[in-house]
């Protein structure tokens, strides 16, 4: 896994069932997650304990998420805050970001995207819990900004590096063009754009052209997937079984 540290997250969410579900998913990725179900207890936790990142709902009992965020920032705290809310109007987003949130996600949400957003914020704050990412014999050191395959160094542009990092943090998952454009390029998906396909081609030339097995696969009609060795082996085994 590379260099790791325990990352502590505060999850402020009043829907108990949803909070437990998010907690389980994040703990599966190695985070330590504390849940608060209302604004007052969240504010108390923020004052009494130190966290690497806060996930904050806006609609909370006792004290609203916006008020919690406002008071937290007014106290001089700079801990990254990711708003996770059902409020999806531009006004809500702008207000949350203006009050000091570092990112804003709307419910319902994709758990893989949530993890990616958290990792992005933590890297920005210098607290990511995973610096070395792997798939088969491909190794990326996020901190050192290096990529190797089969021990050979590979040079990538900044955007190619970001695209590969997103693939590695979501390996074995099908990623749509829409999600890649939104997460890697940071702007809305336009149906006519081919920017993803262009950069996928660049990545394949860099990390797959001279190597086996091929890691980046096209799933027609759905998107792309970067497959780790275990999934590649399972896919080959199923293919052999069908031919028998």
pLDDT tens for each residue of 60-85: 999 999 999 999 988 888 889 999 99
Rounded to two decimals, the pTM is: 0.54
How far apart CA 91 and CA 79 sit, in angstroms, is: 23
For the chain, what percentages of helix, strand and coil (3-state, to nearest 5) are there? 45, 20, 35
Band of residue 1 on the pLDDT scale cut at 50, 70, 90: very low
Query: What is the reported pLDDT for 162?
Result: 86
HSE-CB at 18 with a 13 A cutoff on CA atoms is 17
Q: What value does the mean pLDDT take over residues 19-30?
A: 89
Query: What is the reported pLDDT for 31?
Result: 87
Task: Indicate the range of 12-21, 99-108, 130-139 predicted with least confidence.
Answer: 130-139
Task: Indicate the range of 3-12, 150-159, 204-213, 220-229 predicted with least confidence.
Answer: 3-12
Q: What value does the mean pLDDT take over residues 3-26?
A: 87
Q: Is 54 helix (H, G, I), strand (E, B) or coil?
A: strand
Domains in the chain and their CATH numbers? 7-124 (3.40.50.2300), 132-243 (1.10.10.10)
Residue 91 in tokens: 């006004």
Q: Are 173 and 225 in contact (CB under 8 A)?
A: yes
Q: Mind listing the pLDDT tens digit for each residue in 154-193?
A: 999 988 998 998 899 888 889 999 888 877 876 666 666 7
Q: What value does the mean pLDDT take over residues 3-22?
A: 86
């Amino acid at each position: 896994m590379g260099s790791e540290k325990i990352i502590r997250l505060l999850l402020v969410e009043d829907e108990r069932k949803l909070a437990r579900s998010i907690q389980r998913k994040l703990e599966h990725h190695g985070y330590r997650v504390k849940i608060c179900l209302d604004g007052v207890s969240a504010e108390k936790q923020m004052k009494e304990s130190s966290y690497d990142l806060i996930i904050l709902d806006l609609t909370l009992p006792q004290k609203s998420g916006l008020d919690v965020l406002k008071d937290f920032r007014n106290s001089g705290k700079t801990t990254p805050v990711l708003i996770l809310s059902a409020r999806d109007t531009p006004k809500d987003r702008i207000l949350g970001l203006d009050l000091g949130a570092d990112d804003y996600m709307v419910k319902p949400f994709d758990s893989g995207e949530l993890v990616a957003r958290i990792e992005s914020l933590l890297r920005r704050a210098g607290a990511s819990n995973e610096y070395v990412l792997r798939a088969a014999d491909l190794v990326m050191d996020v901190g050192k900004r290096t990529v190797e395959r089969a021990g050979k160094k590979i040079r990538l542009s900044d955007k190619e590096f970001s695209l590969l990092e997103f693939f590695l943090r979501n390996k074995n998952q099908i990623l749509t063009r829409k999600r890649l454009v939104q997460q890697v390029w940071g702007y809305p998906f336009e149906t006519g754009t081919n920017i993803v396909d262009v950069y996928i081609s660049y990545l394949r030339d860099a990390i797959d052209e001279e190597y086996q097995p091929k890691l980046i696969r096209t799933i027609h009609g759905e998107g792309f997937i970067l497959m780790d060795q275990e999934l590649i082996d399972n896919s080959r085994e199923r293919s052999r079984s069908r031919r028998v």
